[in-house]
Amino acid sequence: MSEIKKFMYVNRKAPYGTIYAWEALEVVLIGAAFEQDVSLAFMDDGVYQLIKGQDTTGIGMKNFSPTYSALGDYEITKIYVEKESLEERGLTLDDLQHLVWEDEDEDWAEKDSIRLVSRSELADVLATQDVLFNF
Amino acid sequence: MGSIEANGKSYETDEEGYLADLNSWDKDVAEVMANLDDCELTDNHWEVINFLREYYEEYQIAPAVRVLTKAIGKKLGKDKGNSKYLYELFPYGPAKQACKYAGLPKPTGCV
Amino acid sequence: MAMLHLVNKSPYDACSLDTASSIMQGDDSLLLIEDGVYAAVKGGKAAARLEGLKISVLGPDLAARGIGKDKLIDGVTVVDYAGFVDMVEANDKVQSWL
């Protein structure tokens, strides 16, 4: 692959009611091996995936929420969260995990991965992508 | 499904020899798995194996080889965070082989 | 004749909460499970649908989704699996809005 493409994964489903969220995460991690310019967007019920403090011991399912913290290691540094979706659900950025990536070129300085965007800003981001994957 | 014997104990594995249950892992089974591959585990091997177990504990995934290399470099120094060093330790592929000895599932993103 | 209504879908993704809440009457109660629990989050648009209804949510499903009890609207009862069974027993019928 000679040319770097902009890959965007759009996540719109809650984490445990369906398999979409976990499948998306696996595809993202596998796709990271292709070293493209990857972004993630969380909108609609997808914002629920990033809520902090998830504890699945009572429902007997794998808690994959810690895996989102590994995205930085996979050089995924652009995670867009849609503001309207959070507000509609009674959530704020404080309810979400604090996701960071470490900049190797700046002595592993921690930088925020999550970018809070409005729907129209997200539309602009989506418009610039080469490939969109929807989950 | 298969199984591995170590120290009189039986450990269930999948068809590729990865442990079926992460929690059944111990150092004995790691040694036996390595011996089956004609590999003798040294302190350098254990450093990587222990690192992988900690990584899984924290993130619930086994890292892809590129991620492993970078993370090892950060934790153990540049002389160890390169694929030459890791492939010398684990010639069948650092992520795949070391994950197996660490009792983890096959890495996500292992293509 | 009291009925227990079960909703297991997110109110932002399915219309089952709308249907259930508008069909409930008398002593009926609503138990939110799985993705249905998101409806009881304070400040969410869906919370308005729950006004005046007898609401319970399943605790293990809340915990799995990282929703603390402090995030819930007032007047909601959190039950465990045993409480779920008690509710089924206490009602004449169960309507599951899948």
CA distance A9 to A46: 11
pLDDT range class, residue A32, cuts 50, 70, 90: confident
Please indicate, yes or no, if residue B106 is contained in any of the structural domains. no
CA of A107: which chain B residue's CA is closest?
Answer: B74
SS3 B62: coil
Burial class (CB in 10 A: 0-12, 13-18, 19+), C98: exposed
B contact residues 50-109, partner A, Cβ 8 Å cutoff:
58-61, 63-64, 66-67, 70-71, 74, 108-109
Q: What is the CATH classification number for the domain harbouring A62?
A: 3.40.1260.10
pLDDT in tens, A79-93: 999 999 999 999 999
Inter-chain touch A67–B58, beta carbons under 8 Å: no
Phi, psi angles (nearest 5°) of residue C22:
-85, -15
Number of domains composing chain B: 1
Domain coordinates in residue numbering, chain C: 3-97
Most A CBs within 10 Å: which of C12, C32, C57, C84, as the mutation test of the A interface? Answer: C12
Which residue range is the domain that position A44 belongs to? 6-134
Least confident of A104-108, B55-59, B89-93: A104-108
Most C CBs within 10 Å: which of A51, A68, A69, as the mutation test of the C interface? Answer: A51
Please indicate, yes or no, if residue A51 is contained in any of the structural domains. yes
Please indicate, yes or no, if residue B76 is contained in any of the structural domains. yes
Residue-wise over B31-69: b if at least 16 C-beta within 10 A, else e?
Answer: bbbbeeeebebeeebeebbebbbebbeebbbbbbbbbbb
Please indicate, yes or no, if residue B109 is contained in any of the structural domains. no
Please indicate, yes or no, if residue A1 is contained in any of the structural domains. no
Most A CBs within 10 Å: which of B23, B61, B74, B96, as the mutation test of the A interface? Answer: B61
Hey, which residues does C3 pair with through a beta bridge?
C93
Number of domains composing chain A: 1
CA distance B95 to B62: 8
User: A33 in contact with B at a CB cutoff of 8 Å?
Assistant: yes
Contact: chain B with chain A (3+ CB pairs below 8 Å) = yes
Answer yes or no: are the C-beta atoms of A118 and A77 closer than 8 Å: no
pLDDT in tens, C5-32: 999 999 999 999 999 999 999 999 999 9
CA distance C86 to C84: 5
For range B15-37, the mean pLDDT:
91
Q: What is the CATH classification number for the domain harbouring B19?
A: 1.10.10.370
Inter-chain touch C66–A13, beta carbons under 8 Å: no
Please indicate, yes or no, if residue B110 is contained in any of the structural domains. no
Burial class (CB in 10 A: 0-12, 13-18, 19+), B93: middle
Inter-chain touch C64–A17, beta carbons under 8 Å: no
Please indicate, yes or no, if residue B111 is contained in any of the structural domains. no
CATH of C3-97, one of 3.40.1260.10, 3.10.180.10, 3.30.200.20, 3.30.230.70: 3.40.1260.10
User: A121 in contact with C at a CB cutoff of 8 Å?
Assistant: no
What token pair was written down for A51?
A: 């809520």
Determine the pLDDT at residue B66.
Answer: 86
Residue B74 clears pLDDT 90, i.e. is over it:
no
Determine the pLDDT at residue B111.
Answer: 45
pLDDT in tens, A55-88: 999 999 999 999 999 999 999 999 999 999 999 9
Q: What is the 3-state secondary structure (H, E, C) of A62-122?
A: CCCHHHHHHHHHHCCCEEEEEHHHHHHECCCHHHECCCEEEEHHHCCEEEECEEEECHHHH
Residue C59 clears pLDDT 60, i.e. is over it:
yes
Q: Measure CB to CB from residue A45 to each of C13, C47, C66 and give the nearest one.
A: C13
Determine the pLDDT at residue A25.
Answer: 94
Q: List Cβ<8 Å contacts ≥24 apart for B54-59.
A: B56/B22, B56/B102, B56/B104, B58/A66, B58/A69, B59/A66, B59/A67, B59/A69, B59/A70, B59/A73
Q: What's at B12, amino acid-wise?
A: E
Q: What's at B83, amino acid-wise?
A: S
For range B61-89, the mean pLDDT:
89
| Strand ranges of the sheet holding C54-58, from the earlier edge strand across to the other edge | C77-79, C54-58, C29-32, C3-7, C93-97
Residue A3 clears pLDDT 80, i.e. is over it:
yes
Determine the pLDDT at residue A1.
Answer: 53
CA of A65 vs chain B CAs: smallest distance (Å) = 8
Contacts of A108 in chain B (CB under 8 A): 74
Residue B108 clears pLDDT 80, i.e. is over it:
no
CA of B60: which chain A residue's CA is closest?
Answer: A67
pLDDT in tens, B46-60: 999 999 999 999 999
Determine the pLDDT at residue B109.
Answer: 55
Q: Measure CB to CB from residue A70 to each of B61, B66, B111 and give the nearest one.
A: B61
Q: Give the other-Cβ count within 10 Å of C67's Cβ.
A: 23
Which residue range is the domain that position B19 belongs to? 2-101
